């Protein structure tokens, strides 16, 4: 039996229904604005997220990097984000190389910082010794924070402080729809107040390729230049955009199943000896917990359950549409064999 794959929600394979939608996609040359399926997807995501325009990009990483470059100037501008944020840890240093930014990290709680923390970190205006605070980023949900949902009130606090200090604002919505399903808050309520936001289709939504960056028409026109420059412009991208549209129609509400599977996993793990985990902290599909020897546990489990070690102690398990409740129970038995 292949190991149960709790490595990441990026591990999903396109379902038969998604493949049928992909096979039937109408296509054209995307770079010339002639791919009807991509155009439909961009419009749909812009509407969903409460913005004027959208841009289909190959990855969430490219959405973040283009947004950073558009909101700030190279050479002394500073971006403020949580210390766990994806651009800080998982984009190969892109903020330095591609946007030329100083990065200032905030010490949030499970990836969520407060308006007060932001206020304390913003540089005073008109100080030529210091970098210039220019942009703040929020990650919904926080991945390395353990799938934490930024509550709408926390989002609003941060936007209020940002507005007062003239900061630009960006939401990394890699798992935005997990936050929407977990909280019952509309996507546009989370994202509408930001200068830019994006949604990833290759995480819990289960599509093979793609993310959509949204913003004003003007911002998206500028983003197009960077998409072209970085080699992110497509040809017949309707082939993959069709998978994203299918995901919006079929794979959003079902995220609740992933969340309840994660909760079952968390409650089971929390009862095992040597596991440090508060199951109440698990709000979506990510279960982050600590053990004495994370790499050792991951290696010993590898033939039965795939999970990731993030450092010496922390292990991450992620539920998704290719993992059933039964497999979660079997994974728990394997954890119990190793830790019990």
Ligand X SMILES: *Cc1c(COP(=O)(O)O)cnc(C)c1O
Interface positions with ligand X (CB under 6 A): 59-61, 64, 86, 139, 143, 172, 174, 200, 202, 211
Q: Which residues contact 111 (CB under 8 A, 6 or more apart)?
A: 82, 84, 85, 139, 141, 142, 143, 144, 145, 146, 148
Reply yes or no: is the peptide bond before residue 30 cis, omega within 30 of 0.
Answer: no
Indicate left, alpha or beta for 101 from its phi (over 0: left) and psi (-120 to 50: alpha).
beta
Measure the CA–CA gap between 20 and 25, rounded to whole angstroms: 9
Question: In whole angstroms, how close is the CB of 90 to ligand X at the nearest point?
Answer: 7
Nearer to ligand X, 162 or 211 (CB): 211
* Contact between 134 and 78 (Cβ < 8 Å): yes
Question: In whole angstroms, how close is the CB of 61 to ligand X at the nearest point?
Answer: 3
Measure the CA–CA gap between 301 and 147, rounded to whole angstroms: 23
* Contact between 45 and 57 (Cβ < 8 Å): no
Nearer to ligand X, 57 or 332 (CB): 57
Residues pairing with 315 in the sheet:
289, 309
Nearer to ligand X, 150 or 289 (CB): 150
Nearer to ligand X, 59 or 260 (CB): 59
Q: Please give the structure tokens belonging to residue 33.
A: 């604005």
Question: In whole angstroms, how close is the CB of 18 to ligand X at the nearest point?
Answer: 17
Question: In whole angstroms, how close is the CB of 244 to ligand X at the nearest point?
Answer: 12
Q: Which stretches within 30-135 are classed as H helix?
A: 36-48, 60-71, 86-89, 94-97, 115-121
Question: In whole angstroms, how close is the CB of 333 to ligand X at the nearest point?
Answer: 28
Q: Which residues contact 39 (CB under 8 A, 6 or more apart)?
A: 33
Nearer to ligand X, 61 or 117 (CB): 61
Q: What phi and psi, each to the nearest 5 degrees, are found at residue 259?
A: -65, -40
Nearer to ligand X, 170 or 332 (CB): 170
Give kind and range of the element (H or E) at residue 220.
Answer: helix 217-229
3-state class of 327 per DSSP? helix
Question: In whole angstroms, how close is the CB of 211 to ligand X at the nearest point?
Answer: 5
Nearer to ligand X, 318 or 332 (CB): 318
∠ CA(247), CA(88), CA(98), 5° rounding? 85
Question: In whole angstroms, how close is the CB of 83 to ligand X at the nearest point?
Answer: 13
Question: In whole angstroms, how close is the CB of 112 to ligand X at the nearest point?
Answer: 13
Measure the CA–CA gap between 12 and 35, rounded to whole angstroms: 26
Nearer to ligand X, 139 or 327 (CB): 139
SS3 content of the chain, % helix, strand, coil (to 5): 45, 20, 40
Nearer to ligand X, 61 or 261 (CB): 61
Question: In whole angstroms, how close is the CB of 200 to ligand X at the nearest point?
Answer: 5
């Amino acid at each position: 039996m292949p190991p149960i794959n709790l490595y990441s929600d990026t591990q999903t394979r396109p379902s038969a229904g998604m493949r049928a939608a992909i096979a039937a996609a109408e296509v054209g040359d995307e770079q010339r604005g002639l791919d009807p399926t991509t155009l439909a997807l961009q419009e749909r995501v812009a509407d969903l997220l409460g913005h004027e325009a959208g841009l289909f990009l190959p990855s969430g990483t490219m959405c973040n990097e283009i947004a950073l470059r558009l909101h700030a100037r190279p050479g002394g501008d500073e971006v403020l984000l949580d210390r766990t944020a994806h651009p800080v840890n998982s984009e190969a240093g892109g903020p330095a190389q591609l946007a030329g930014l100083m990065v200032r990290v905030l010490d949030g709680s499970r990836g969520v910082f407060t308006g007060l923390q932001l206020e304390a970190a913003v540089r005073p205006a008109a100080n030529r010794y210091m970098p210039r605070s220019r942009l703040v980023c929020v990650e919904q949900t926080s991945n390395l924070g353990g799938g934490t949902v930024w509550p709408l009130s926390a989002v609003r606090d941060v936007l209020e402080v940002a507005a007062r200090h003239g900061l630009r604002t960006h939401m990394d919505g890699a798992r935005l729809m997990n936050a929407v399903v977990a909280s019952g808050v509309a996507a546009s309520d989370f994202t509408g107040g930001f200068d830019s936001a994006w949604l990833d289709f290759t995480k819990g939504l289960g599509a093979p390729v793609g993310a959509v960056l949204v913003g004003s028409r003007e911002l998206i026109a500028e983003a197009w230049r960077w998409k072209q420059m970085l080699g992110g412009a497509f040809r017949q991208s309707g082939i993959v955009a069709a998978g994203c549209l299918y995901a919006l129609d079929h794979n959003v509400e079902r995220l609740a199943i992933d969340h309840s599977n994660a909760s079952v996993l968390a409650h089971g793990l929390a009862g095992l000896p040597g596991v440090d985990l508060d199951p109440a902290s698990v709000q979506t599909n990510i279960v982050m917990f600590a053990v004495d020897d994370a790499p050792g546990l991951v290696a010993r489990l590898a033939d039965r359950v795939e999970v990731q070690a993030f450092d010496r102690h922390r292990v991450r398990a992620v539920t998704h549409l290719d993992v059933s409740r039964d497999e979660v129970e079997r994974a728990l038995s394997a954890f119990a064999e190793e830790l019990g």
